Structure 1
């Protein structure tokens, strides 16, 4: 396992200096050692597979990323309780990979399943964040009414939990402004842009605004 740790540390170092292919090679060597020692279904193997999935996403190698993310999800489903937060995190990563590949329907399915897990665990803000991602997928599919519904759900939660001047609220305003711009509803788009700008123009709590 010391050799495993060495490979992982070397992989991190290569990643930091931009040598992504060498970094991934080190991670894969570490994974092989870990699987030989712990077996292929150990939860620690799942974490390394997730690490590799994220590395392949960074390298824009999405097919490989999907393979490792599937392995991560399989192991976590074996060891974790149904609808666990761990499974939800895996599904969000899988959705990101599918979206990057242009596979929007599978991405949407993963996000819906992740949202159900978050709801089961009473993670309201995480559910809202997933709703934003769901809205993005609907927007990519030109399903505009469903996108609006998803964004509005997220907006309601963020306003109630974070406050009406939070950056998360502004982010949803920008998404809605973009949607209405694409659908030719310029007045609505302008209104949401102005709402976002009002939030971003306010200095953050504990800071002093600076003007040139």
Structure 2
């Protein structure tokens, strides 16, 4: 017996050392060996066996091997309850199992377990204990995944009522509150909580971490949604500089960050700054990959957009044509990226007031995109919408209506009838019908858009408010 216990202690220590060192494969081997020792000595019906089984489940959990983690968590929980009742150790294993359920999109099961954990922890620890507050946080996360954002906010707010969390844990809770408010469309509060989250991360770890950087990028995105484009640019620039310090400038993620910053600058009308950033991208791509790489052609397209924003159409058009030619050489005439080039050039011609040339470009894109998945793709719908909008601008309302209706049909065939672009198309169709003095049809489509916006985004979301405003203008 002494040898058996001594061997188990030695294997268990090695297991924890491997887990601590991040050698999870070795930890799994040792964890299984530990369970085997129990079995060989006919000692599998004890609390110690359940604890070691739960520890092995944590390794599978860390590796995102959720079926194996679930299996061992379940067995460990059953044995812990049988041996020790609804103990705190039992609650800990249920908590881990609930998180696995959340990771595998089984939120209803997760919520049931998290509520049970909350009940046990309240009874044994009280409502002020950190573990009880953690359970509130996990329930809030589960409600967020279920799309019940008001309940998520309530539980996260309850979790914050005590100061027992560490600084990083407080950052996580504030970040969760921010996500819930963002999902509801309350961008003001989302920004408020994201900024607190960033302050807490900075206090705990400093600014030069990927965790801090990713939250800065998220905050930039929320500012963009809120229409605070100058602030979005500021945060995006901050994230780019952090990424510049953390990794090579020739890393693909760094190039993507530069492109995101330039796109925000364009959206905010900062075309000179966008041009500066895109030139840096072009220089990096040329140095790293050469002019024959597809990314070089992408960089030319982005520069074309910048010059178009600056109304320097001659330069913009030359770059757009060069990008199109380069992509044809690299990808062939039928590649979907060729259609994207035609669309970009069409947008440029439209900005120049050259409707005929714009239509030719859009039709070239339509011909390519109509062949993808038998025309059941949102890119094809985008092209149809662009053509419809072009005809609407030329007061050719019958043709405009035909293309917009077709775009809506394509989006339905793709299961895209609750997207923001579907709503935009409905409003465009309503405007075309209004111009044709078909007011009943226009009101009907605005009502349809409002119903979809309410169902998709909720009654408090700005998109629903916008849909109601458009409906009010039509009625």
TM range (shorter): 0.7 to 0.9
What per-residue deviation string (whole Å, max 9, x for no partner) do you get for residues 112-158 of structure 1?
11111112332622111211111001111222111111111111122
What per-residue deviation string (whole Å, max 9, x for no partner) do you get for residues 19-55 of structure 1?
6335525655875797799876654431221121122
Tell me the residue number matched to 2:325: 74
Q: Give the distance between the partners of 1:33 and 1:173, measured in 2 at CA.
A: 42
Tell me the residue number matched to 1:109: 360
> Is it true that 1:176 corresponds to 2:429 in the alignment?
yes
Q: Aligned to 1:90, which of 334, 338, 341?
A: 341
Over aligned residue pairs, what C-alpha RMSD do you find? 3.4
| SS of equivalent residue, structure 2 residue 300 | helix
What's the CA shift for 1:12?
6.5
Q: Give the distance between the partners of 2:445 and 2:405, measured in 1 at CA.
A: 12
> Is it true that 1:21 corresponds to 2:264 in the alignment?
no
What's the CA shift for 1:107?
1.0
Greater mean alpha carbon deviation, residues 183-192 or residues 97-106: 183-192
Check 1:23–1:196 CA distance in 2 against 1; reply closer, same or farther (3 A cut): closer
Tell me the residue number matched to 1:49: 300
TM-score under structure 2 normalisation? 0.37
Judge conservation of contact 1:135–1:150 (CA < 8 Å) in 2. Answer: yes
TM-score under structure 1 normalisation? 0.77
Q: Give the distance between the partners of 1:37 and 1:194, measured in 2 at CA.
A: 52
Bigger radius of gyration: 2
Tell me the residue number matched to 1:150: 403
What's the CA shift for 1:185?
2.2
Tell me the residue number matched to 1:132: 385
Tell me the residue number matched to 1:186: 439
Check 1:43–1:158 CA distance in 2 against 1; reply closer, same or farther (3 A cut): closer
Q: Aligned to 2:451, which of 172, 194, 198?
A: 198
Tell me the residue number matched to 2:83: none
Greater mean alpha carbon deviation, residues 27-36 or residues 111-120: 27-36
Judge conservation of contact 1:77–1:87 (CA < 8 Å) in 2. Answer: yes
Greater mean alpha carbon deviation, residues 33-42 or residues 163-172: 33-42
Say which structure, 1 or 2, has more relative contact order (CA 8 Å, 6+ apart): 1
Greater mean alpha carbon deviation, residues 131-140 or residues 187-196: 187-196
Check 1:48–1:185 CA distance in 2 against 1; reply closer, same or farther (3 A cut): same
Q: Give the distance between the partners of 1:14 and 1:172, measured in 2 at CA.
A: 28
Q: Give the distance between the partners of 1:178 and 1:89, measured in 2 at CA.
A: 27
Q: Give the distance between the partners of 1:172 and 1:99, measured in 2 at CA.
A: 19
| SS of equivalent residue, structure 1 residue 184 | coil
